[in-house]
Structure 1
Amino acid sequence: MNHKSDTTHSHHQHHPPKTPAKTSQKSSGKYYCPMLCEGEKLYDKPGNCPVCGMNLEKVPELSTVLSQYTCPMHPEVIRNGPGACPICGMDLVPVTPTEEDDSTYQELLKKFKVAVLFTVPIFILAMGEMLPGNPVSKLLSPPVSNWLQFLFSLPVIFYATWMFFQRAFVSFRSWNLNMFTLIGIGAGAAFIFSVIALFFPSLFPPQFRGHDGSVHLYFEAATVILTLVLLGQLLEARAHSQTSGAVKALLKLSPTDATLVTNGEDKLISINDIQTGNLLRVKPGDKIPVDGKIVEGNSSIDEAMITGEPIPADKKEGDMVTAGTINGTRTFIMEA
């Protein structure tokens, strides 16, 4: 695997570093930055990119044979390795994807629940004056309310959303400013100001203090902003997980074996052994093993699982066929 860093690599290419088509070991345990901030540099542990702060993504595992990749939106696109779709630019996915857990989504969901659990009380305490009858002030004095807001904000800041401040710090250190830079500045400034105002109110001029001598705090502003950003990260992770699951379910429609035509002879091989350019014979009733083009013969193809159209589509020489669809009543030879 090539570990050479290419600092001139474009940040607009969001695909894993190039890997050899054949390897004797799996690439599990290797991670890369989707922005390729340090070229094709790989990392041994998951975490955040030290340059831009984005989550590192796991390098797709490679089997001992050539792995093929396709585009979720354009199944006619098939490549021998990971990369970007030449049509829409989406990341290509393995034709036979490995089972990946949704640990990122589950971790964010747990943190989001903690954030909501403490942010809602902070918001109620801070905005109690706007509630009809101001019930909060009748139950709690302003100093007690302020201290509760501070205590409730600690798990939100230092557990649920601490990763945002870590990413902001990395962006400052590398001077690659991004969204997390703004989040870190805004929420951090509100939290630090509120802590100083709570512990040392005498440092502020009288104009900043209320009739009870306390300074207005902004714990609710910091926690609400961070919780909303965390919600966005959670929704993004969920969408990615659902999309991956849908793609896997679709790609699982492909058969596990194919008939390879070599020098006029047929040989049954695993779908993982298919190389680009191989000639494959597809018999009546067989599922088409991979995306490709008909080079000999014609038939009608049932593409209902892809298009939803119940009527089979007629295919002739030169037409493209899609993996997982079902051949009709005639035999044809296709090129992978």
Structure 2
Amino acid sequence: MANIKKEIPVLGMSCAACAVAVEKALANSPGVKSAAVNYANHAAIVEWEEGSITLEKMQQTVKSNGYDLLIEDIQAEVLEKMQAEAYSQLKRKTLYAGILALPVFLIGMFWMHLPYGNYIMWALTTPILFVFGAQFFTQAWKLAKNFQANMDTLVALSTGIAYAYSTFNTFFPEFLTNRGLDAHVYFEAAAVIIFFILLGKTLESSAKAGTSAALKKLMGLQPQELTVLEEGNTILKKTSEVQKGEIILVKPGQKIPLDGEVLEGNSYVNESMLTGEPIPVLKTKGNKVFAGTINQEGSFNFRAEQVGNQTLLSQIIERVKSAQGSKAPIQKTVDKVAAIFVPSVLIIGILTFFIWGFSGVEDAWLRGMLAMITVLVIACPCALGLATPTAIMAAMGKGAEMGILIKNAESLEKGKKIDALVMDKTGTITQGSPEVTSVQFVGSWSETDAAILKAIESKSEHPLAKAISNYFEDENTTIEITDFKNEPGKGVSAKADGSTYRIGTLSWLSAFLQKTDEAAIQSSQQLMSKGSSVVYAAKESELIAYFEISDPIKASSVEAIKTLKNMGIKVYMLTGDHEIAAAKVAKETQVDGYQASVMPHEKAEFVKKLKSEGKTVAMAGDGINDSEALSLADLSIAMGKGSDIAMEVAEITLVHSDLKQIPKTLNLTKKTVRIIRQNLFWAFIYNIIGIPIAAGVLYPAFGFLLNPMLAGAAMALSSVSVVSNSLRLR
């Protein structure tokens, strides 16, 4: 049976403890292989064995725990619209709660003796709690029925107790006054606590929306509608409805909607979102085009080859979404803390109540009740739960904007520790495709010969032939070629303009040459000793040219390697290329070490060796031959222009295939870990300091007892400060 992996929106979560409860419920369901719930984006990534469990069964399990799953397949824009509506509703609740809470606060704090003041406060507080704050009570009740608790439990208990006590004192004040006690009311505490918590949730939701801005930008690269050609007619269709094989018309200035192959027409296409190169690329018949890239001036038709979530752009979006939903190892510790946090706070609150009650101070039980309310309010686990996922989401979004696709959160933590980097040569340090880097014309060379050589090499499929053909790209290709022959391992020959031309190795051509240019041959041999490949061209029995062909080092590679070394990272190069070529690249880039002529398994052994020496190793590669080494490295990095297998194995993909992105990636991981640690420090410190003060430890020495209303404000501020700190990564 195949496994199914899906992201499912979760409804009803209000804190990190909720995410732990939902995750535990899903993970314990029969047939579910793994489940990860992210409180920051309110989604669960669930993997299960096909046929072993249904989405309806999962939903039922989650519902029995007081939450819900959105199992219907709905379009991203519909889900976004639902989330926007929920956010708007939350803002309205916050606004109305604030409007009603303000007079309650003013009366409770400054006009305590206002005639009928208590009745006015009761009338205003009741809708605040049971209309605008009803979600806290309904959710707390659902959880209580399953013997569970979360932040909603704390809010409902604290405000509910304060409201019930104040309501009793409003309508039956003589119960306390007849006993010599003041019948105080705490409507302002209950009202303002609900308002501050709603305000904190509103600000939190707004801030969290900023962490997914890059994802929305990526989604916005693909147009929603396109023009399909059917039997000569143009039909407007939704992009999501297009089937593989349909013919699509792209007009000047339009974004290309899907991946495919050009059938007719030509145009320059801006592919900077994929390659990072600002210069548009000419697309003609047979060329590939990709979703999200922008057509410049011309029009063309192309056949859709990758549709729906198969396009390169969709895969990038899915990787970012998957990464944002993943958890860093440090988050797993946080989850364990969050799972026991709420029950612990409830116990502390109850102990606080009884310790105060039996303390013998004036109004002991009343003070105990207020202290318990304050403990329940200030101990919100939101800041703790948001500390890691918001930082990770912000980092993933920033990485996506920079062309750095981070597959999982673990790689963010590992990136900070890297002290050794192993790199493939071809396609990683170098361009990955041979180019003519110099040419020497000898003998009776003419411009006609250039056109003929281009025509001959255009018929050859050898990689070096393509380099020579590209070198003469401006030459005429309409010259008639006859008697074309390919001699494997030697070269090619053909007749044109009444002469026989041969292009290939010197050892093969030597049999046909009647006179040789010894100086030219000696010069060409020197090029070979430097690691370049040399291809010779002859006309009849005369040598007319030789071409130096090499895989040029990327312009950014030298600078990137220097930056990495300055960061204290040892850089090693491994290549299957021969020793001379490897030595040349190693010398130019100043790597710390290199090995040539290595097989794929030898690359893996080298990574193992470095790890056995205690180094934390990153591996950067682009080919199938790098896959084993990538999987063994502590941090694996794939070049975006490389093989699909390398990108599947790697934890990080550099869309632009630019080595300068590696130092940027490592710096991003360091900043992310630093932000996470700052968030966790403040979240823990906030609770370590806040709960004892709320319980009243300062009262014996200073006579200070924290007001529940101020506790609510501090709780809301802690969550907002954590999210805002995470957004500094942006």
TM-score by length of 2: 0.28
Give secondary structure in 2 for the equivalent of 1:224: helix
- Contact (CA 8 Å) 1:300, 1:329: kept in 2 or not? yes
Q: Which amino acid aligns with 1:39?
A: M
- Contact (CA 8 Å) 1:257, 1:289: kept in 2 or not? no
- Contact (CA 8 Å) 2:66, 2:139: kept in 1 or not? yes
Cα drift, residue 199 of structure 1: 3.8
Partners of 1:240 and 1:123 lie apart in 2 by: 30
Percentage identity across aligned positions?
20
- Contact (CA 8 Å) 1:188, 1:222: kept in 2 or not? yes
Q: Does 1:325 align with 2:294?
A: yes
Partners of 1:294 and 1:186 lie apart in 2 by: 63
**What does residue 250 of structure 1 align with?**
220
Question: Can you give the 5+ residue segments of structure 2 that lack an aligned partner in the other structure?
Answer: 1-24, 48-54, 307-730
Q: How many residues align?
A: 255
Q: Does 1:52 align with 2:52?
A: no
**Which string of whole-angstrom CA distances, capped at 9 and with x for unpartnered residues, describes residues 55-113 of structure 1?**
x658354xxxxxxx7xxxxxxxxxxxxxxxxxxxxxxx26xx69947543444344333
Q: Does 1:191 align with 2:210?
A: no
By percentage of residues, which structure has more helix? 2
Alignment RMSD, CA only?
5.1
- Contact (CA 8 Å) 1:282, 1:327: kept in 2 or not? no
Closer/same/farther in 2, CA of residues 53 and 255 from structure 1, 3 Å limit? closer
Q: Which amino acid aligns with 1:225?
A: I
Give secondary structure in 1 for the equivalent of 2:185: coil
**What does residue 287 of structure 1 align with?**
254
Cα drift, residue 184 of structure 1: 1.3
Partners of 1:189 and 1:100 lie apart in 2 by: 37
Cα drift, residue 168 of structure 1: 1.0
**What does residue 118 of structure 1 align with?**
100
Cα drift, residue 191 of structure 1: 1.5
Alignment of 1:137-216 (within 5 A): 140=114, 144-201=116-173, 213-216=181-184
Closer/same/farther in 2, CA of residues 272 and 249 from structure 1, 3 Å limit? closer
**Which string of whole-angstrom CA distances, capped at 9 and with x for unpartnered residues, describes residues 131-181 of structure 1?**
xxxxx35x726xx33332222211111211112211111111123432212
Q: Does 1:39 align with 2:58?
A: yes
Partners of 2:133 and 2:250 lie apart in 1 by: 56
**What does residue 571 of structure 2 align with?**
none
Closer/same/farther in 2, CA of residues 41 and 279 from structure 1, 3 Å limit? farther
**Which string of whole-angstrom CA distances, capped at 9 and with x for unpartnered residues, describes residues 31-51 of structure 1?**
xxxxx8961459xxxxx9563
Partners of 1:58 and 1:235 lie apart in 2 by: 28
Closer/same/farther in 2, CA of residues 278 and 225 from structure 1, 3 Å limit? farther
TM-score by length of 1: 0.55
- Tell me which of 242, 254, 257 is aligned to 1:274: 242
Partners of 2:262 and 2:176 lie apart in 1 by: 81
* Structure (1 or 2) with the larger CA radius of gyration: 2
**Which string of whole-angstrom CA distances, capped at 9 and with x for unpartnered residues, describes residues 6-51 of structure 1?**
7355252726999xxxxxxxxxxxxxxxxx8961459xxxxx9563
**What does residue 230 of structure 1 align with?**
198
Partners of 1:184 and 1:315 lie apart in 2 by: 64
- Contact (CA 8 Å) 1:285, 1:327: kept in 2 or not? yes
Partners of 2:100 and 2:167 lie apart in 1 by: 17
**What does residue 218 of structure 1 align with?**
186
Q: Which amino acid aligns with 1:335?
A: E
Partners of 1:319 and 1:175 lie apart in 2 by: 58
Cα drift, residue 121 of structure 1: 0.8
Question: Can you give the 5+ residue segments of structure 1 that lack an aligned partner in the other structure?
Answer: 19-35, 43-47, 62-68, 70-92, 129-135
Cα drift, residue 192 of structure 1: 1.9
By percentage of residues, which structure has more strand? 2
- Contact (CA 8 Å) 1:296, 1:333: kept in 2 or not? yes
